[in-house]
Amino acid sequence: MPDSRNWFDIVPEHRHRRLSASRRDGIHIDVGGRRLINFASNDYLGLSFDAAVCMGASGAFSESVGSGASRLVSGDDPMLHRLERKLADWKGYEACLIIGSGMLANIGLLQALAGRHTHLFADRLNHASLVDGVRLSGAVSHRYRHLDSAQLARQLRQHPADRRIIVSDGVFSMDGDCADARTLLALAESHDALLLIDDAHGTGTLGADGRGLTALHGIAGHARLIEVGTFGKAFGSYGAFILGTHELIEGLRQRQRTMIYSTALPVALIAASETALALIERGEPVKQLHERLARFKAGVSGMGFMDSDTPIQPLLIGSDQQALTMAAKLADAGFFVPAIRPPTVPDGTARLRFTLSAAHSHEQIDALIAKLKELL
Ligand SMILES: *Cc1c(COP(=O)(O)O)cnc(C)c1O
């Protein structure tokens, strides 16, 4: 019988994933004794180190750290309700429920919504939290090719059922492309289904006001639409939220096990997220991000970047080794850009994944463009 030392049976050459300690310092990151400019963070608005956001958190932290219990016991601070109201109003939904993280939101949401008799229809490139949520729900699942709404429509025609949900990322995390949310909602309506959009990357980044993909498509708040957003990316803190109708959110309060049986988020993180929302609503960070993104895209046009209008800008390389070599050369020049390899992405599609932030300076972006011109 194996003990814990040989339980996993992983040979060293298959150890793809490596944790390497790195300290972030604003837009910089210290890795392996070098100080690099970070082009590998989801902190799209630079709010994780914004003075006002940190102040919001530290004020609350000086009074308490942990929330002490699940929201259903004694961890239900009024600040959670206040931020839920603000998020619902900002995104244009009736109601909102804050949850520990995006992973917990998706796993719990799908478990609460779907059971053995539910059919789920999922984009093949959905985030792992949706993939696991679908699997753990025990529902019948169907996967359609990435963004292929014609195949989805066929699957919906072929698999009638009382309860059906289309499940998709808003912005896809490895490609930076977007779901055609309006078409997905039209399919949900014509086939009497629900649509779940996880816009973790679009929230705070898409649209002039940063309200995300569904607002951009003019469908936010629709009664067939459920949306997930997170605080861990553009909001610069930690946690997640679910948006929908009053009845849906009330149902989740009764059924969502990842909320019921998990300690509530610390209020300091809620305070940070509330400050972040106020800054996003004021507009300046979103405007800065869009301006940086336009500068980067103009600078790298013709270099073979994947087609993306989001702050996720991948450059397809192909071979794992070449992607690693490119990443190492960029690091030598002072830029931290990760090589993303299988199994995170399909075989033969290793890539460099650049993410832009409002906190990058023009000089930093221009220097990166110049280096890329030289390397390509
Ligand atoms: C990051 C991400 C999540 C996970 O959110 P966490 O709060 O980090 O757990 C879920 N869905 C998508 C699409 C994501 O990009």
User: The CATH number of the domain where 130 resides is what?
Assistant: 3.40.640.10
Residue that terminates a domain, selected from 233, 265, 297: 265
Question: From the CA of 6, how far away is ligand 1's center (Å)?
Answer: 31
25-34, 40-49, 121-130: lowest mean pLDDT where?
25-34
- Stretch 264-273: mean pLDDT, rounded? 97
Check whether 2 has a pLDDT greater than 90.
no
Say yes or no: 114 and 229 in one domain.
Answer: yes
Pocket test for ligand 1, best of 230, 241, 355 (most atoms within 8 A of CB): 230
Whose alpha carbon is nearest atom 8 of ligand 1? 102
Q: Which residue, chain included where needed, has tokens 């679908």? A: 134
Which residues form the catalytic set?
Answer: 173, 201, 233
| Residue 275 covered by a domain | no
> How many other C-beta atoms lie within 10 A of the C-beta of residue 16?
11
Q: Which residue has the higher pLDDT, 20 or 202?
A: 202
Residue 189 clears pLDDT 90, i.e. is over it: yes
Lowest mean pLDDT among 54-68, 201-215, 219-233: 54-68
Answer whether residue 14 shows pLDDT above 80.
Answer: no
Residues 245 and 114 in one domain: yes
Q: Which residue has the higher pLDDT, 31 or 157?
A: 157
Whether pLDDT at 117 is above 80: yes
Residue-level pLDDT at 16 = 66
Domain contains 274: no
Whether residues 119 and 166 share a domain: the answer is yes
Ligand 1: residues whose CB is within 6 Å?
Answer: 101-103, 106, 127, 129, 169, 173, 198, 200-201, 230, 232, 240
- Domain-located, residue 57: no
Given the CA of residue 238, which atom of ligand 1 is nearest to it?
A: 7
Rounded to the nearest whole angstrom, what is the distance from the C-alpha of residue 102 to the centroid of ligand 1? 5
Residue nearest to atom 6 of ligand 1 (CA): 102
Give pLDDT, residue 238: 98
Q: What is the pLDDT of residue 345?
A: 87
Point out the domain boundary residue: 230, 265, 300: 265
Q: Is 210 helix (H, G, I), strand (E, B) or coil?
A: coil
DSSP labels, 201-259: TTTTTSSTT---HHHHTT-TT-TTEEEEEESSSTTSS--EEEEE-HHHHHHHHHH-HHH
Atom of ligand 1 lying closest to residue 231 CA: 7
SS3 186: helix
**27 alpha carbon, distance to own chain's centre:** 19
Total structural domains within the chain = 2
The sign of the torsion formed by the CA atoms of 21, 42, 242, 106 equals: negative
314 - beta bridge partners? Answer: 353
- 139, pLDDT greater than 90: yes
Rounded mean pLDDT, 56-74: 94
Same domain membership, residue 149 and residue 110: yes
The band of 32, judged by pLDDT with boundaries at 50, 70 and 90, is: confident
Does residue 72 sit in the same domain as residue 203? Answer: yes
Q: What value does the mean pLDDT take over residues 45-54?
A: 98
- By most ligand atoms within 8 Å of CB, the mutation choice from 41, 103, 107 for ligand 1 is 103
Q: Is residue 61 part of a domain?
A: no
- Domain assignment present for residue 272? The answer is no
Are 110 and 182 part of one and the same domain?
yes
In the predicted model, is pLDDT for residue 234 greater than 70? Answer: yes
Q: Is 39 helix (H, G, I), strand (E, B) or coil?
A: coil
> What pLDDT score was predicted for residue 13?
67
Chosen domain end from 216, 235, 265: 265
Indicate whether 122 and 169 sit together in one domain: yes
> Across-strand partners of 37?
28, 335
Q: 10 lies in a domain?
A: no
Distance 174 CA to ligand 1 centre (A): 12
Nearest protein CA to atom 12 of ligand 1, as residue: 200
For the cut 70, the answer to whether the pLDDT of residue 240 exceeds it is yes
Average pLDDT, the chain: 96
Quick check: is 341 in a domain? yes
pLDDT for position 168? 98
The rounded Å distance from CA 354 to ligand 1 centre is 17
Report, in angstroms and rounded to the nearest whole number, the Rg of the chain calculated over CA atoms.
21
Q: Does residue 62 belong to any structural domain of this protein?
A: no
H or E segment at 196? strand 194-198
pLDDT at residue 180 is higher than 80: yes
Assess whether 296 and 371 both reside in one domain.
yes
Judged against a pLDDT cut of 90, whether residue 45 lies above it is answered with yes
pLDDT at 18 over 80: no
Same domain (yes/no): 199, 338: no
Retrieve residue 213's tokens: 């993909």
Instruction: Verify that 160 and 221 share a domain, yes or no.
Output: yes
Query: Candidates 129, 168, 177, 355: which one to mutate for ligand 1, based on the most atoms within 8 Å of Cβ?
Result: 129
Q: Which atom of ligand 1 is least distant from the CA of 126? A: 13
In this structure, the answer to whether residues 74 and 186 fall within a common structural domain is yes
Q: How far is the CA of 85 from the centre of ligand 1 (A)?
A: 22
Write the CB contacts of 208 (distance below 8 Å, at least 6 apart in sequence).
283, 286, 287, 290
In this structure, of 64-73, 209-218, 223-232, 337-346, the range with the lowest mean pLDDT score is: 337-346
- Residues spanned by the domain of 88: 67-265
> Does 248 share its domain with 197?
yes
Ligand 1 center to 98 CA (angstroms): 14
Q: Report the CATH number that the domain containing residue 326 is assigned in CATH.
A: 3.90.1150.10
Question: Please, which residues bridge with residue 171 across strands?
Answer: 178
Residue 365 has pLDDT above 90, yes or no: yes
| Mean pLDDT score, 102-117 | 98
Amino acid sitting at position 352: L
Of all protein residues, the one whose alpha carbon is nearest to atom 4 of ligand 1 is 102
